[in-house]
Chain A
């Protein structure tokens, strides 16, 4: 298990380095950063000054090394627009986004795993069709439109839930559903397919031949094996949701990273965007790593070689 974990950790570090190179390169995506910083109508001399102050004249490898060392120390740069330290702004907003992501994932799993299991027990039944319909709608419906529809009914027409802000837990209900519903189809389909496969396997027949109760067969013997790929998928989907929260947070005016990214794009606040991309990517990598570990824990064939 330790060998397995170290190997995965190695891969994670390599991916993180790659991501850091990419997010560092973002500064140069829109051309000469000194030109952008100096603003319109700046003289040749001004641009040269900016270049010197920010160290843009040095070789790019040196700049990256310098940036990486500072990033590792927690210094992600300075936002010219907010006149603030990027890292402190990002980490102030991060918990809100993580909370939203966690609630959305919880909603998605609570809805999709039982639906997937029931659909697999009774394939082609009414419940199976219902589940497939739910999945199809989820996949076909843009999340922003779903979010607006939720707002319209639950927020405006029925006045059941608040439609913007983060003041209470009620504020998180609609955003979580809007964000999580998007993930539901994939998880449900995978659970259903996994359960269908496992339920027809030889060891399930063995479990029944032992006279085990149907519930034991279903949950202890079948779901345990069918859930393994769902764990990996959930980690990946959680990452997607962090990205997807850009739209949802903007719609529901939730002060998280997604909202911040959107604001930063509008303000051309490159260090901020750079930092958020880096932080989200690292979280994503960490999640994948955790999912691998959890998989190793669930599947003894990985854990015990």
Chain B
């Protein structure tokens, strides 16, 4: 029996903007078990970062968050006081951000910023907190860890800063880590190292991990399960194997067509691209969100909101009226290619 770390049900985020209400995230339900990696995939603006901030209750003030359930290890963390929430943040769940260059405070040393998280949540002495910081800095692959404690963020490279951010997230030994595009701002050579590190630490400390990314190459390597987001909705979820071997939603297929696969994609072949642009999320949108860019679209798709269907395969669901039909699958395979 696996232990459920995070349960999110029907999470919705609305943001009032001058032209109306931006429905940034609509009815997202996700869950993460201990030791499991959930990847949330989607292009910029699909609401994946807001989803992660909503779980941490760190959304911008004007954003309106609603949820049927938001539970951390069977305990509701929705609608609790800021004080109780701040006891949980950085303690039982922590977050790694996209921008290591600006996510550390320039005025304080690495050691100070690492230890303050632990000293906020645990009754430990300065020395014990320091020992823990050194231990974790070594864990994330930083050499001469003890001497790094006295250094300032500007003295470290982007890759090192992201390692420090990871160590910081681990200070209190959290149940869940949310990493929001942790490698986007880094050099390609370092991206792989950081991901490898995250996966390794997750296994070692047996935590739940939510990895938010737009890079499917990243997902293939470390995901257990995948949730594909498009325009504020989850359009397809399933195990990594299911999604990579048999993508059902036309959007997921389009995404997978965009990346070359060594040995499979022919040299010189054109990589796929999804035509069109992401629709505006301001105001109500009738019908399927992907309709304007979908090769399979028909009248039914535009008639009304498309729900998330359970697929006949277990633990798999999809938000499409046409994908699971053998005829359309054939059409799409010919049509999209």
Contact = CB atoms under 8 A, between A and B. Distances in A.
Interface residues of A, number: 23
Contacts of A212: 86, 90, 116-117, 120
Contacts of B105: 203, 206-207, 221, 224-225
B107 A299 contact: yes
Contacts of A214: 82, 86
B193 interface: no
Given A299-B107, A300-B107, A300-B152, A210 B102 contact: no
Nearest to B114: A210
B222 to A, nearest CB: 22
A269 B99 CA distance: 63
B154 A206 contact: no
A216 B58 CA distance: 16
A201 B107 contact: no
Interface in B304-337: none
A298 B95 CA distance: 28
A221 B113 CA distance: 10
Given A225-B106, A300-B106, A211 B154 contact: no
Nearest to B56: A209
B104 A208 contact: no
B94 A210 contact: yes
A294 to B, nearest CB: 13
Interface in B63-107: 82, 86-91, 94-95, 97, 99, 102-107
A203 B105 CA distance: 5
Contacts of B168: 206, 210
The main secondary structure of chain A at its interface with chain B is: helix
Interface in B259-303: none
Contact of A208 (B58, B108, B152, B155): B58
Contacts of B86: 208, 211-214
Interface string A279-305: 000000000000000000011110010
A210 B82 contact: no
B116 A224 contact: no
B104 A304 contact: no
Contacts of A203: 102-106
Contact of A209 (B89, B121, B152): B89
Contacts of A304: 152, 154-155
B154 A301 contact: yes
Contacts of B117: 210-212
B120 A211 contact: yes
B133 to A, nearest CB: 13
Given A212-B120, A213-B120, A202 B89 contact: no
A205 interface: yes
Contacts of A209: 56, 58, 89-90, 94-95, 97
Chain A CB within 10 Å, residue with most, of B87, B94, B105, B155: B105
A301 B89 contact: no
Contacts of B102: 201-203
Contacts of A208: 58, 86, 89
A220 to B, nearest CB: 8
Contacts of B121: 211
B120 A210 contact: yes
Contacts of A300: 106-107, 109, 152, 154
Contacts of B88: 211
A205 B99 CA distance: 11
Nearest to A201: B102
A202 B168 CA distance: 15
Given A210-B117, A210-B120, A212-B116, A299 B90 contact: no
Interface in A160-216: 201-203, 205-214, 216
A224 B107 contact: yes
Contacts of A205: 58, 97, 103
Chain B CB within 10 Å, residue with most, of A202, A203, A209, A216: A209
Contacts of A224: 105, 107-108
A270 to B, nearest CB: 48
Nearest to B151: A304
Nearest to B112: A220
Interface in A34-66: none
A298 B107 contact: yes
22 contacts: A203-B106, A205-B58, A207-B105, A208-B86, A208-B89, A209-B56, A209-B94, A209-B95, A210-B89, A210-B94, A211-B86, A211-B87, A211-B88, A212-B86, A212-B117, A214-B82, A214-B86, A224-B108, A225-B105, A298-B107, A300-B154, A304-B154
Given A209-B89, A209-B94, A213-B120, 17 more contacts: A202-B102, A202-B103, A203-B102, A205-B97, A206-B104, A208-B86, A209-B95, A210-B89, A210-B116, A210-B168, A211-B89, A211-B90, A211-B121, A212-B120, A213-B86, A225-B107, A300-B106
**10 closest pairs, A vs B, by CB?**
A210-B90, A211-B89, A211-B90, A202-B102, A210-B117, A203-B105, A300-B152, A202-B103, A211-B86, A209-B95
